[in-house]
Structure 1
């Protein structure tokens, strides 16, 4: 069981961009946005350089501009994006002891570049980043954003994760993978863990009710070679929104049966339709008693 962290100490729970009378939103100027981002990150133990806050602001301007043509995000408000996208994306860096100093990071289902681009900006040039996005218009935006932000070592693949996980160039190559707002845990581990090397890590971003979902999917995680190694609760600076981070370690090679063909992980999830027993024909991992001995709780599925 991981230690619990609380990022709510950055400041008040409302700020520029909050709703005022008539539903109007207050615009946030660049300098104020960057300072709030810096302070919010600092409350989580993450130091942001002026160059990093500038690049993250530039990325947000690109997202807003492209959002007129491509559905990249439902968030339109500057202040809301600061918390819901940027500080949220950076949460794993509050646990920097869990990160190697360099490597390959894979963002599965990157969308507008969250969390992969903010992580690359802060981690720096010692990290290569692969942004995986199956929707070609979104992938084209990611290519443009990486170029305009001058982010070296960033590659974009407009491909299904299920296909990429069977590609020998990428299978079990990543040191770290991240998956945010993508799917239920048993679905996303089938997307992401085949890309992670043995000994590597997968960071899973989840909302307030995530613990029940995770408890129901432990054996599904084992089936693709992983073990749930930690969980942390955060309150996001400024908004107070609750987030959970789950760390999955890649303990064994992913069996050759995974990932299954495109669409099947979501259509027939490993933990079953309601997160119960795994569907017929999928492997079960060891029984949950080993998990209890490791202090991370038990769970069926």
Structure 2
């Protein structure tokens, strides 16, 4: 696996230390081992893991604010992506991993401990709609991000309530032009504004990716997010 990771990281604009590379390998080795008994990822080929999970997650590094006390929440983190690779690359980040499945978070807690990444890191067991109503989480983060497979208008309702004023919800998408158009009403209603869109291609497969930078320009109205399940079943259009 190290060879595949070494190869994919050669395409990155960032230079990583040998220790950092070893932590990437350790995390994904543990993930694939656990995946044999828990559904964490459908991607198991080392070269595809390197590109579609590691490189894709690290693409956020180029757009994250650079200040050392950055607070980031990974909404619906699942197997810890993109949060854990970002924490390995930038261990000074204050990271919150949010997921609705306790077993996944138990695994992530084990990973964070074995990787030596417990400092300034927390896991939260809750649905996004419920967590965003907690005073200690609502509008407390510089950045919220999500790789979850959901339309952008739904993701906006999940993520924007966590973002403080002038912070960003960074949506990780493939080709997203039609989604962006359909989500503009929801984004504006929730206090956001599309500040920029960065498009890139993954280096091996050529798969297209979009990083949609949505800036928080107003407080999210108190009625959002709506009750659990509603943003998905009845998205804002």
State the TM-score bracket (shorter-chain normalisation): over 0.9
Alignment correspondent of 1:212? 178
Q: How does 1:99-114 map to 2 (within 5 A)?
A: 99-114=66-81
- Tell me the distance in 2 between the aligned counterparts of 1:48 and 1:207: 26
Does residue 124 in structure 1 map to residue 95 in structure 2? Answer: no
- Pairwise CA distance, 1:180: 1.0
Does residue 194 in structure 1 map to residue 165 in structure 2? Answer: no
Alignment correspondent of 2:208? 242
8 Å CA contact 2:140–2:164 kept in 1: the answer is yes
Larger strand fraction of residues = 2
8 Å CA contact 1:225–1:253 kept in 2: the answer is yes
- Pairwise CA distance, 1:95: 3.0
Alignment correspondent of 2:113? 147
Alignment correspondent of 1:66? 34
- Pairwise CA distance, 1:38: 2.5
8 Å CA contact 1:34–1:54 kept in 2: the answer is no
- Pairwise CA distance, 1:246: 0.4
User: Which stretches in structure 1 are left out of the alignment for 5+ residues?
Assistant: 1-28, 272-301
Which structure has more relative contact order (CA 8 Å, sep 6+)? It is 1
How big is the alpha-carbon RMSD for the aligned residues of Structure 1 and Structure 2?
1.3
Alignment correspondent of 1:40? 11
The 1:99/1:230 distance shift into structure 2, 3 A limit, reads farther
Alignment correspondent of 2:102? 136
Aligned residues: 236
Which of 121, 143, 146 matches 1:176? 143
- Pairwise CA distance, 1:102: 2.6
User: Which stretches in structure 2 are left out of the alignment for 5+ residues?
Assistant: none
Q: TM (normalized to structure 2)? A: 0.96
Which of 8, 12, 22 matches 1:54? 22
Does residue 269 in structure 1 map to residue 230 in structure 2? Answer: no
Give every structure 1 segment of 4 or more consecutive aligned residues whose post-TM-superposition deviation is greater than 3 Å. 98-101
